[in-house]
Amino acid sequence: SGWRTGGAHRAVCVYVWCSPLCCLCFSCPQALQAARQFILQQATGLNSPSSNEVKQSPVQVPVSMAMMTPQMITPQQMQQILSPPQLQALLQQQQALMLQQVTHTLTHTGSSQQQQLGNKQLAFQQQLIQMQQLQQQHILNLQRQGLVSLQPGQGAVPIQSLQQAMCPTDLQQLWKDVTGVQSTEEVMKHEGLDLTTNSSNTTSYSASKVSPQIPHHPLPNGQNSVHTPKRDSSTHEEHTASHPLYGHGECKWPGCEALCEDMGQFIKHLNSEHALDDRSTAQCRVQMQVVQQLEIQLAKESERLQAMMTHLHMRPSEPKPFNQPLNLASTMSLSKRETEGFPEGLPHPPTSAATPITPMRQGPSVISSSSLHGVGHIRRRNSDKFCTPIASELAQNCEFYKNADVRPPFTYASLIRHAILEAPDRQLTLNEIYNWFTRMFAYFRRNTATWKNAVRHNLSLHKCFVRVENVKGAVWTVDEVEYQKRRPPKMTGYVDSRLVTFKVIVDPQIKILVPIITLNFVPFSGILSPTLVKNIISGLGFGSLNASYQAALAESSLGLLNSTTLMNNSTGASLNMLHIGHDDVSSTVEQVNSNGSCSPGLSPQQYGHQIHVKEEPAEMEEDSRPMSLMASVTQNLSMPGDERDMEEELPTEELE
DNA sequence: CATAGCTTAAACATTG
DNA sequence: CCAATGTTTAAGCTAT
C-alpha cells in the first residue's frame, strides 16, 4: 500500500533515487561504517519489482520506489541524511559494488544457472557496464578540465590533504571506489609520485579508468588483490582475492551483513543469497537511476565550472589559487581542513569527481558548506537576509533542485514563505511565487496545474499568508507569528514510544551528520536541519511516510527545535554553535529578536487595509512539547561529553 | 477510532 | 468571454 501512482505518492517516489549515501563525506571510520550500514539497511527490504514498473523510463524514480516495501524505507532518509549532492559518491561506490556483484554472479554461477540468464539479464549487465563507463568517462572529462588533475607534481597535495581528513583505510577505499585504482600510493606511482621504493606495480591505471572493472579491496594482510576483471573467472581467485562486497568478515551487500568466516564462505554466500534475481537487479536498478540522474547533474555542473573558469580567465588546467579552493570546497563539499590544505589551489584528486556538487553561486544560498571555509562574510551577509529552516537546505542544494526533477522536501507553505521572504521587500505576487517555484525547482516545471493550485490553496488556507492590496494589485506576505505558531504539530512521544534514541555524529570539518539508530542512550549533537530531523524521523521507523508529510514533520520538528524557548540557554547555545552555518537556528532567533519580543517581521497590521483574518484550526499549545522528539534531543544535547568535544573541534568562527 | 497536517482535486467566485 | 486569481470544500494519505 502506499505506492500507487498519482497524488502524493509521486512525491514519495521522487526521493528514491537518492537512497544510497555518500561515504566520502565522512572522515570518521565509524561514521563511515555506520552510514554504510544505515544505507544498506534501507535497501534490505527491497522487494521484487513488478515487471511492468521496471520497464518504465530508467530515469524516473517511481520505478525504484516501486521496488521498495512501504515499511522499510527510506529513500527519504538517505536523501535527508545528506544533502542530495552529497549522495553522489556513495552512489557510485555502491553502483560499482553492485556492478561487480552482478558481473561476478554472471561469471561464477554454475553453467546451469548461467543458462537461465536470459537476454534480459545480459542486457542489464551490459547496461551496468555502460553506466560504469559513463562514470569513468566523467572522471576523465573532469581531468581534462583541470578539475581533477593528476598531472605529475599535482597529485601529492590533494591526496595528502584528503588523507588528513579521512582515515587512510577509508580514503583508500573511497579512492578505489571512485577511480578504480588500487590505492592512492598506486596513483602516485603512476603519476610519478612514487614515494616508495617499490615501483614494480604494473596495474594499469588508465585501463582501470576506462574499463568497467571494479577495484578490489586489499587483502587483510595488506596485499592488494590482482586487479582481475570478474569475467576472468577463476575458481582459485575466489578464495585468494579480496572482494569489494566482503570485508571485516561480513558480506557487504546492501542490507545483508551476513557473517562469513573466509572468502570461500563468502563466495558461497554471495552466489546463494545474492544471485542474479529480481531483488539484486532491483537494487542495481536503483543505483543505475541514481547514477544516471547524477551524471546529468555532473555534466551540467562541469559545464558551469568551465564557463566560470573561462569567465575568470582561468585556464581549466591552471586554476588560480585564490579561487580554486573556494570552487572546490563548495563544488566538492570538501572539508575545511581539506580546503585549507590546498593553499596552492591545486586540484583535488579524482575523488572529487564523484563527490557531491554543491551550489555555489545561488544568491543568498551560497553559504552553508562553502561558507565554512573562510567566506564567513558571505554567510553572514546572506544569513541576515532571511531566515527559514529550509534556507540552509535550499542553499546547499539549490542547484540540485534546480536541475534534478526531485520534489523538494518541504511543504508548500514553507516554500511559499521562503519565496516571499527571499523577495527584496518580502512580498510577492502570486505569479512571482509561481516563477520562484519554477525557477528554483525543476520539479515544479511540470504538473503546473497541480502545484499552482496547491500554492493558491495554501495561500488562502494558511493564516500566515497575508494578502495585501497595493496600487499595482495584490501581493502576498508572510505573517511570521502565524507561521511560527502553526509549526509545531503534535508529535508527542513518538520517540519514546519506540524506545529508540539516536546520535548524530558530526564531523566538524565536513559538517555532515551521521544519524545512527541505536538502542542506547546516546548524546545528541550535531547540525540541525530539516533534512536531518526528517531523517531522524524516518530513521525511527517512519520510512513509509509520505514524502510530503515527512517534509512537514521535519520542518515542524525543526521549528520546534528552533524555538529557543524549548531549550535552556546552554543547550540552545550549543545548538547554535553546532549548526552548520547556523542559518536556521540562529537566524530564526535573530529574526524574532530583531523585531522585538517575538513579533513578526511583518504583521498584518503593517499592511493596512484589505486584510481579513483567516480561520485556521486552533494551534496546539506549548504544553505537549516536553515529550516531543526535540525535547529528547535537547536532553541529549546537554550531555557534557559530546558537547564539549564539539566545542573544541569547532572553529572559532562557529562560536561567534 | 479520533485527530492532525499535508496534498491534491475541484467547484465556485472575483477581477482585470 | 477568458484567464488569472482567490476561496472553499472534500477526499485521501500519512502519522500519533
**Residue range A197-237, pLDDT digits in tens:** 333 333 333 333 333 333 333 333 333 333 333 333 333 44
C-beta of residue A500 within 8 angstroms of C-beta of residue A636: no
Whether the model pTM is above 0.85: no
Q: Is the CB of A6 under 7 A from strand B?
A: yes
Q: Which amino acid is at A231?
A: R
What positions of strand C are covered by protein, i.e. any atom < 7 Å from a CB?
Answer: 4-10, 12-16
Residue A104's identity, in one-letter code, is H
Going by pLDDT thresholds of 50, 70 and 90, the confidence category of residue A284 is low
**Burial of A389 from C-beta contacts in 10 A (0-12 / 13-18 / 19+):** buried
Q: Taking Cα atoms as reference points, which of A350, A302, A629, A357 lies closest to residue A494? A: A629
Cα–Cα distance measured from residue A545 to residue A66, given in angstroms and rounded to the nearest whole number:
14
Going by the DSSP 8-state scheme, the letter that residue A153 receives in this structure is T
CA dist A161 and A475 (Å) reads 51
List of protein residues whose beta carbon is under 7 A from strand C: A 1-2, 4, 7-8, 70, 429-431, 434, 453, 456-457, 459-461, 467, 473-474, 476, 490-494, 497, 540-546, 549, 612, 614
Q: What is d(CA A322, CA A330) in angstroms, rounded to the nearest whole number? A: 14
Which tens digits make up the pLDDT trace of A31-70? Answer: 334 444 544 444 443 333 333 333 333 333 333 333 333 3
Least confident of A117-126, A354-363, A391-400: A354-363
A428 touches strand B (CB under 7 A): no
Q: What is the CA radius of gyration of chain A?
A: 25
Q: Which nucleotides of B are covered by protein (CB under 7 A)?
A: 4-11, 16
Residue A290 grid coordinates:
541514481
Residue A589 CA, nucleotide C7 C1', distance (Å): 34
Q: Does residue A620 approach strand B to less than 7 Å at its CB?
A: yes
For residues A500 and A491, give the distance between their C-alpha atoms in angstroms, rounded to a whole number.
15
Nearest-CA neighbor of A553 among A629, A462, A454? A629
**Closest nucleotide to A456: CA versus each C1':** C6
pLDDT for res A455: 92
Provide the pLDDT confidence category of residue A346 given band limits of 50, 70 and 90: very low
Distance CA A152, CA A557 (A): 50
C1' of nucleotide B10: residue with nearest CA: A453
Q: Residue A546, CA: closest nucleotide via C1'?
A: C14
Distance of alpha carbon A6 from alpha carbon A70, whole angstroms: 16
Rounded-to-integer distance, Cα A220 and Cα A228, Å: 18
3-class SS letters over A351-367: HHHHCCCCCCCCHHHCH
